[in-house]
Amino acid sequence: MEKECDFLVLGSGIAGLSFAIKAADLGSVAIVTKKNKVESNTNYAQGGIAAVTDKDDTFESHIQDTLKSGAGLCKEDVVRFVVTEGPERIRELIEWGVQFTKTKEEDAYDLGREGGHSRRRVLHAEDLTGREVERALTEKAASKKNIKIYENFFAIDLICRSKLTGGKETKDRCLGAYVFDADKNVVHTFKAKFIMLATGGSGKVYLITTNPDIATGDGVAMAYRGGAEIANMGFIQFHPTCLYHPDAKSFLISEAVRGEGAKLRLKSGSTFMERYHPMGALAPRDIVAQAIDTELKKSGDGYVLLDITHKDRKFLLKRFPYIYNRCLEFGIDMAVDPIPVVPAAHYQCGGVLVNPFGQASIDGLFAFGEVACTGLHGANRLASNSLLEALVFAHRAFKKAQELLPTVDTDSIPIPPWDTKGATESDESIVVSNNWEEIRMCMWNYVGIVRSNKRLERAKRRIDMIAGEIEEYYRNFTITTSLLELRNIATVAGVIIECSRLRKESRGLHYNLDYPDKDDINWLRDTVVKKDSTG
């Protein structure tokens, strides 16, 4: 079945929704989202949104913190416009109904602090900022007549003109996407003037992650298969403090807890971060995660402790009600017990390479939010800069699309419907579940916080083999969302490995034992990969 619109938005997190709300004033918007509309990384964001809103804060200070955290690889012009355009985007969010926590006197916003920030500047809604943002944005989107949201619709692949013309195009153009309706088991063809990838990150590529199940890197995988340039996927950010408990799946303990003075301790009770960085437990994330990894390897322990027992229960319940109650469900009273934590895959700093307006290397295709590599984060994202980046780039993409809209040639070539190629039902779904586990384990063991040439080569061999097996399975059997996601995590794992193998130095989130130092002469640049040509 064919559906047509002006803007096809893939994803309903902060990036997709904030774009759609604006684009609805220009034309018809279809939001395709693979689960229910709020299920996204955004919905789980805890700490908040970094922006200069306090009169004693300065743009320069936020800019310098971002650049320092990015370990030399941020694009400074991007950092400057994201930071300076940030407050306007925050005002807009507030206008749309987001209620950030205020101070006791209710006359100002309460500002949190997180790793790498030289001062308090993170706006938050208690410790569940993302849920409040999703609530307000989905409500706002629902009030727009021009927006139609398709839930449980899974974008499979982009439709690019070169595939239809047999590669005769000099500059390719994206025309739409094939989308699987998971409830009805049919594939629709969505045609649009502009296609907006806002599909978020890829934490599920790793065995241990803070991310929810939707984070399977679908956008990067689709863009890669479609021939777009992908950059810096080797910079996977591991959050230092994910709850360590056999029954807790993906539960983050916000960095804002360290912002309120929590200490990191070994099981013996001694602190260690002062040996690694002058900012101690509030050092940038790459440094804290690598320090924990080193200490765990040294001691053989399974976790370190996050200790905020110096704060009383009343404070903790007010500032961190969600974290406090979740910990209690696991038998941990954070007012008296230090919390066992481990690092976990959290955020992809790389992604679909875009210009300052979110335009990818294929015409008609935009990417923003976690799926994109904009140049803001460099080799390590500064805490709470992600929601900010999504807002700023969604706005810039909207401005660019508004400018280009009158020039788009709507008379495009016919798009063939999805071809099932005689696929049959599989009776071996064990293949899918086995490969899921194998990929995630392989990435965790060989492409984690500390890498080496040998580990990367081993990972490449395994992932190549598994990816081949999955492609064959994909061609022969009818699709399911689980199979589509498996195919995508295999593709993204391959891209992460490729970017990591290319970078022959250690910088930010990429630490390779065989090249332990930074090499500013050769590697002050992005690692860009493209299907069938890397460089």
Q: Which of 136, 151, 145, 140 is nearest to 31 (CA)?
A: 151
CB of 386 to ligand SIN, least distance (A): 5
Stretch that binds ligand FAD, among 192-200, 267-275, 289-297, 319-327 (CB under 6 A): 192-200
Collapse the DSSP code of 148 into the 3-class scheme (helix H, G, I; strand E, B; otherwise coil) and give the result. strand
By CB under 6 A, is residue 53 in contact with ligand FAD?
no
Are the C-beta atoms of residues 12 and 133 closer than 8 Å to each other? no
CB of 235 to ligand FAD, least distance (A): 14
Conformation bin of residue 499: beta by default, left when phi > 0, alpha when psi is -120 to 50: alpha
Looking at the Cβ atoms of 40 and 435, the one nearer to ligand SIN is: 40
By CB under 6 A, is residue 435 in contact with ligand SIN?
no
Q: What is the DSSP letter of 205?
A: G
By CB under 6 A, is residue 386 in contact with ligand SIN?
yes
Are the C-beta atoms of residues 177 and 369 closer than 8 Å to each other? no
By CB under 6 A, is residue 232 in contact with ligand SIN?
no
E strand segments, 120-224: 122-123, 147-151, 153-160, 174-181, 186-197
Residue 44's binding partner among ligand FAD, ligand SIN, none (Cβ under 5 to 8 angstroms by kind) is: ligand FAD
Residue 443's binding partner among ligand SIN, ligand FAD, none (Cβ under 5 to 8 angstroms by kind) is: none
Stretch that binds ligand FAD, among 57-65, 223-231, 300-308, 385-393 (CB under 6 A): 385-393
By CB under 6 A, is residue 257 in contact with ligand FAD?
no
What lies within 8 Å, CB to CB, of 271 at 6+ separation is: 263, 264, 265, 280, 281
Residue 101's binding partner among ligand FAD, ligand SIN, none (Cβ under 5 to 8 angstroms by kind) is: none
Q: Which of 16, 86, 115, 284 binds ligand FAD (CB under 6 A)?
A: 16
91 is catalytic: no
Looking at the Cβ atoms of 199 and 290, the one nearer to ligand FAD is: 199
By CB under 6 A, is residue 359 in contact with ligand SIN?
no
What lies within 8 Å, CB to CB, of 388 at 6+ separation is: 49, 50, 51, 82, 86, 89
By CB under 6 A, is residue 70 in contact with ligand SIN?
no
Stretch that binds ligand SIN, among 380-388, 404-412, 433-441, 509-517 (CB under 6 A): 380-388
Residue 432 CA to residue 490 CA, distance in Å, equals 11
Structure tokens given for 24: 């609805």
CB of 126 to ligand FAD, least distance (A): 12
Binding track over 90-129 against ligand FAD, x by CB under 6 A: ---------------------------------------x
By CB under 6 A, is residue 378 in contact with ligand SIN?
no
- Contacts (CB under 6 A) with ligand FAD, residues 195-224: 198-201, 210-211, 214, 218
By CB under 6 A, is residue 384 in contact with ligand SIN?
yes
Q: Which of 393, 342, 353, 286 is nearest to 528 (CA)?
A: 353
Q: Which of 8, 23, 30, 40 binds ligand FAD (CB under 6 A)?
A: 40
Binding track over 267-286 against ligand SIN, x by CB under 6 A: --------------------
Looking at the Cβ atoms of 7 and 523, the one nearer to ligand FAD is: 7
The packing angle between helices 76-95 and 386-404, to 10°, is 90
Residue 338's binding partner among ligand FAD, ligand SIN, none (Cβ under 5 to 8 angstroms by kind) is: none
Structure tokens given for 104: 């006791």
Are the C-beta atoms of residues 150 and 179 closer than 8 Å to each other? yes
Residue 72 φ then ψ, to 5°: 90, -5
Could you report how far apart the first and last alpha carbons of the chain are, in Å? 39
By CB under 6 A, is residue 370 in contact with ligand SIN?
no
CA–CA distances in Å: residue 43 to residues 130, 137, 239, 534: 4, 11, 17, 35
By CB under 6 A, is residue 255 in contact with ligand SIN?
yes
Q: What is the DSSP letter of 414?
A: P
Residue 253 CA to residue 257 CA, distance in Å, equals 7
Give the interface size with ligand SIN as a residue count (CB under 6 A): 8
Q: Which of 383, 447, 459, 490 binds ligand SIN (CB under 6 A)?
A: 383
By CB under 6 A, is residue 308 in contact with ligand SIN?
no
Q: Which of 33, 46, 53, 527 binds ligand SIN (CB under 6 A)?
A: 46
Q: Which residue is catalytic, options 89, 285, 396, 451?
A: 285
Q: Which of 42, 209, 232, 254 binds ligand SIN (CB under 6 A)?
A: 254
By CB under 6 A, is residue 42 in contact with ligand FAD?
yes
CB of 241 to ligand SIN, least distance (A): 7
Q: What is the DSSP letter of 533?
A: E
Q: Which of 369, 375, 448, 494 binds ligand FAD (CB under 6 A)?
A: 369
CA–CA distances in Å: residue 502 to residues 29, 508, 512, 526: 39, 15, 11, 10
- C-alpha atoms less than 13 angstroms from C-alpha of 442 in its C-beta half-sphere: 25
The per-residue b/e assignment along 355-372, b for 16 or more CB within 10 angstroms, e otherwise, is: ebbbbbbbbbbbbbbbbb
Are the C-beta atoms of residues 66 and 74 closer than 8 Å to each other? yes
What is the contact surface with ligand FAD in residues (CB under 6 A)? 10-16, 32-35, 39-42, 44-49, 129-130, 154-155, 198-201, 210-211, 214, 218, 252, 347, 369-371, 384-387, 390
What is the contact surface with ligand SIN in residues (CB under 6 A)? 46-47, 254-256, 383-384, 386
Active site residues: 285
